Amino acid sequence: MKQILHLKSSLQGNDSYSIKLGNAIAKKVQEKYPDSTLEELNLVDPEIPHLNPAVLHALFVPGDQLSADDEEAKSLSDKLVRQLLAADTIVIGAPLINFTIHSALKAWIDHITRPGITFGYTETGPIGKVTGKKVYIAMSSGGIYSEGPGKANDFVAPYLKAFLGFLGMTDVRVVRAEGLKVPGVKEYAMQKALESIIID
């Protein structure tokens, strides 16, 4: 049995290519592991709030010194961390927006990056504590960014892979629906993306 967490970060709702691609990935995981459970988290509706001074302060207060206000301030971060750690398979919907990810996905990243919980430091450098996860990045883009001139402007896949690896999630597969606005490519781009899904 797999516990699947599907993160959605698109503003397009049901018309979103990254959501459609993420749904297809989650469905294929469920088909391969029929007893799996699926939890969906929409990061943009309602939008995950960015860190603020009160939350940042609360995240670094020792447990025995937390006030009621501190507990409230960090409650969302704690919930998101528990949700992440409970998942076996994580599907991250990541449309390319102005060459990078939506700010709500970055806010989620900031909430779940917790020293001593999701990562730590050793004498030889940082070590990720979120291990044993399979991650699929459902990436969509109007242009082509996996190769050619656009590759240098892809700050989605490289960033997410670097960040996930920092937390210990190194088993990452990027599934791309790209060229969705390019004549001659857009007509079959989504179908090509769906056919490229491979579940381990």
Count structural domains, the chain.
1
Q: Does pLDDT of 144 surpass 90?
A: yes
Q: Could you tell me which residues come within 8 angstroms of residue 96 by beta carbon, excluding any fewer than 6 positions away?
A: 139, 140, 141, 142, 143, 145, 154, 156
Tell me how far apart the alpha carbons of residues 176 and 96 are, in angstroms, rounded to a whole number: 10
Provide mean pLDDT across the span 162-187.
Answer: 98
To the question of whether residue 141 is assigned a binding role by annotation, the answer is yes
* Domain with 172 in it: 3-196
To the question of whether residue 36 is assigned a binding role by annotation, the answer is no
To the question of whether residue 148 is assigned a binding role by annotation, the answer is no
To the question of whether residue 17 is assigned a binding role by annotation, the answer is yes
Is the backbone peptide bond immediately before 46 cis, with ω within 30 degrees of 0? yes
To the question of whether residue 188 is assigned a binding role by annotation, the answer is no
To which H or E segment does residue 55 belong?
helix 53-59
Q: Report the chain's mean pLDDT, rounded to a whole number.
A: 96
The CATH number assigned to the domain holding 171 equals 3.40.50.360
70-129 pLDDT per residue, tens: 999 999 999 999 999 999 999 999 999 999 999 999 999 999 999 999 999 999 999 999
Question: What does the block give as tokens for 53?
Answer: 């001074």
The reported pLDDT for the residue numbered 176 is 98
Tell me how far apart the alpha carbons of residues 2 and 32 are, in angstroms, rounded to a whole number: 10
Tell me how far apart the alpha carbons of residues 86 and 93 are, in angstroms, rounded to a whole number: 19
Q: Are 37 and 1 in contact (CB under 8 A)?
A: yes
